[in-house]
Amino acid sequence: MAGLTDLVVLVRLPSCVGGAVSVLLGAYLATGSLTTDGGRLALAAAAIALVVAVANVVNDIADLDLDRIGKPGRPLPRGSVPVSFAGVLAAILALTAIALTIPLGAAMTLALLALTAFAVSYSLWFKRTVLVGNVVVAACASFPVGFGAAVARESHPPVVVAIGLAFLFMFSYETLKTRTDRESDARSGIRTFATVWGARASVRLFRVLIGTLTLAVVAGTVVTSRPFLYAPAALTVCGFAVASAIHLPVPENDPAAMRHSVFLMRVAWFLGVGALWLLR
């Protein structure tokens, strides 16, 4: 039987919480409040958190052979969670997520079904496509913001900006990951931008994306009512993202430097979520 710690690691609990927070962010940017339709919002946040968990479990099942080499300490390759149990868990979580959206209406249920399908399809197929997988992940990551706004039944320009920034950030981050995983992906026959076009091209693309993201973040000051709060927070986020792009080694394989670059982007992500709340 799987232990609680193994399950927390398997579903990647922090990313599940991040998905729920993104729903709340979308509702707040749309309405300026989290108290309007609080019950509906709670259902939506819980449903998104469960879908993120489903995506993470399915990803670990699909990557089992690869993780036995690169990440042997994770629950599935270590054997602390049986693969059959993980499959049943993913199915139960998906059904529960769908059930939670039924009170929200047919449109919200269909939207969640579509998100679940894309998230699962990434692990089963899209991950092994050049750049398409990055787009799918970025779309799935930015979806909860719009989902929260839709549940709140309101619209506001900061919502659109937040969705765009979340998409750009995650597209950049996924491009970075293809560079850091290039050697292991190549050995496993996985087609990513880095394995097909090479390390140098993937680093150039990452830096272009970070430059685009920085411009978009700065442009967000146009829609916020609190530019003097948003601007310093946004520039701090950009600083970490730019540092990640500068620090990333171009042709050589330097695992320590690449881990540092990934760490800087993760810091930028957590700070960026906070900065997005200041858009309203």
pLDDT digits (tens, 9 = 90+) for 117-138: 999 999 888 887 888 889 999 9
Q: What does R_g of the chain's alpha carbons equal in angstroms?
A: 19
112 Cα distance to chain centroid: 16
Q: If pLDDT is split at 50, 70 and 90, which confidence band does 2 have?
A: low
pTM for the full predicted model: 0.90
DSSP 44-61: HHHHHHHHHHHHHHHHHH
CA distances (Å), origin 7, targets 76, 77, 81: 10, 14, 8
- pLDDT for 14-65, tens place per residue? 999 999 999 999 999 999 888 877 889 999 999 999 999 999 999 999 888 8
